[in-house]
Amino acid sequence: MELKKIFKILIITCFIVILIDQVSKILIDNLVKNDIVVIEEALTITKSHNQKASSGLVKQNLGNIGLCLVIIIIIFNYIISQKDKMKKSNIIFLSFILAGGVSNLIDRIFRSTVFDFIKIENFPVFNIADIFIVIGWLLFLISFLKETAIDLKAAIPVKDDNHKKDKK
C-alpha cells in the first residue's frame, strides 16, 4: 500500500479516536458532579486524575512524554518498513494505539495528569483512550499471529500421505 494512503487512514482514524476521547473527558469533567453507578457493584462513572503516570512532577512528566514519543516513533517506523505488506485493518489497529497514546499525552501536556472516568470493579479507573489502546494491541496481535501462522504453514513442507500408503 502506498504511504500516502496509509497516512490518510492513520490520520483520519487517529483524529476520530482522539476527538471521541477528548470530548468524553470534557463532558464527564463538566457534567458529572457525583459518581454515577451504571451497573451496581460493576460499572461506575467517576472522576479520577491519574497521578501515578505523571505525579505532577515536571521531570517525571517529561520522561513519560519522552517514552510516549519513542513508542509513537517505533510504531511509525514499523508502518513505514511494512508498507508493502501492511493490511488496512492493521493500519487501523495501530492507529487505535497511536491515537489512544496521543490523547493521553495531550492530557499529560495540558492537564499534567491523565483524566480517567470508567471504573469497573477490581480494575483501575481508565478512559476511552485506554480502551482503544487495549483493543488496538489485541486486534493487532491476533492479526499478526494469524499472518505468522499462515506464513509458517506455507514454509512447512506437507507430508505426502500417498507415501505412507505405499509402505503398508
Q: What is the pLDDT of residues 50-65, one digit of tens each?
A: 766 433 444 456 677 7
Domain extent for 72: 3-31+52-113+129-151
Query: How is residue 126 annotated by DSSP?
Result: B
14 pLDDT above the threshold of 90? yes
74 pLDDT above the threshold of 60? yes
From residue 77, alpha-carbon distances to 3, 13, 66, 67 in Å are: 12, 18, 16, 15
| Least confident window among 10-24, 65-79, 149-163 | 149-163
124 falls within a domain: no
Number of domains composing the chain = 1
165 falls within a domain: no
22 pLDDT above the threshold of 50? yes
75 falls within a domain: yes
| Least confident window among 44-58, 60-74, 102-116, 133-147 | 44-58
Tell me which residues are annotated as active site. 116, 130
44 falls within a domain: no
Looking at residue 57, its pLDDT comes to 43
Cα 54 from Cα 63, distance rounded (Å): 9
Looking at residue 132, its pLDDT comes to 97
The residue ranking higher by pLDDT, 85 or 39, is 39
Torsion, CA 151, CA 156, CA 160, CA 164, rounded to 10: -140
Looking at residue 118, its pLDDT comes to 95
Q: E strands within the chain?
A: 36-39, 43-50, 114-120
Q: Give the predicted TM-score (pTM) of the model.
A: 0.80
Looking at residue 58, its pLDDT comes to 46
47 falls within a domain: no
Average pLDDT, the chain: 85
121 falls within a domain: no
Looking at residue 143, its pLDDT comes to 93
